[in-house]
Amino acid sequence: MKSRKQDVLKAFEEYLIIDKNKLDQEVMQQSSLLHKVGKEFAKATGVAVTRKDQLKRIDAKLAVRHRKKLEKLGRATDSMITTAVLLDIKHEEAFDIWNKAVVHADKLESLKESFKQRGFMLRDLIGMYLSDYFSKDSFDNSEQIKSYKQTRVHDKRKK
C-alpha cells in the first residue's frame, strides 16, 4: 500500500521528464512545479521539526520516569538514565517517526534541486532549438559527420 508521501514523490518525479517537442508548455509549467515542490518541501521540513520536538518531549518524560525507577534502586547516574531512555520502546517509536519525516524531507529537497536543474535544462534546450539544433538539416549534418568519421577510420585501416 502506497502512502501519500510516496504518491507525491512519484507524481513530481514524472514531471522531471522534459518533452522537447512541447518546450513551450514545459517552460510555462516549470515555475509552478518548482513552487509546488518547494511548498511540499517546506511542509515536510516543518513536520520533521515537529517530530524532533515530540521526540525530545518523550525523551524528557522518559528520563524523569527512569530516574525515579533507578533512584529507588539506589543508583541513578546520567549515563544509566540516558541508556534507559534510548532503550525504551516509546523512544524507539518516536525516533522512527522522526527519522521517516527527515528522510521524506530530504527526498523532497533532492527533488526541489532536480527541478532547479530541470529549469537549466529547459533553458539549454531552448537555446538548442533557437540555434536549429533540432532541424532536419542539423541531423543531416550530424549523419554526414558520422559518415566522414567512418570513412576516415576505413581509410586508416587501408594504410
| Domains in the chain: boundaries | 4-134
Contacts of 58 (CB under 8 A, 6+ apart): 90, 91, 94
Q: Give the 3-state secondary structure of 43-78.
A: HHHHHHHHHHHHHHHHHHHHHHHHHHHHHHCCCCCH
**Across 6-93, where does the E strand assignment appear?**
none
> What does the alpha-carbon distance between residue 30 and residue 105 come to, in Å, rounded to a whole number?
21
Residues 90-149: tens digit of each pLDDT:
999 999 999 999 999 999 999 999 999 999 999 999 998 888 887 766 555 566 556 655
Residues 3-60: tens digit of each pLDDT:
888 888 999 999 999 998 899 999 999 999 999 999 999 999 999 999 999 999 999 9
Q: What is the pTM of this model?
A: 0.75
> What does the alpha-carbon distance between residue 55 and residue 136 come to, in Å, rounded to a whole number?
61
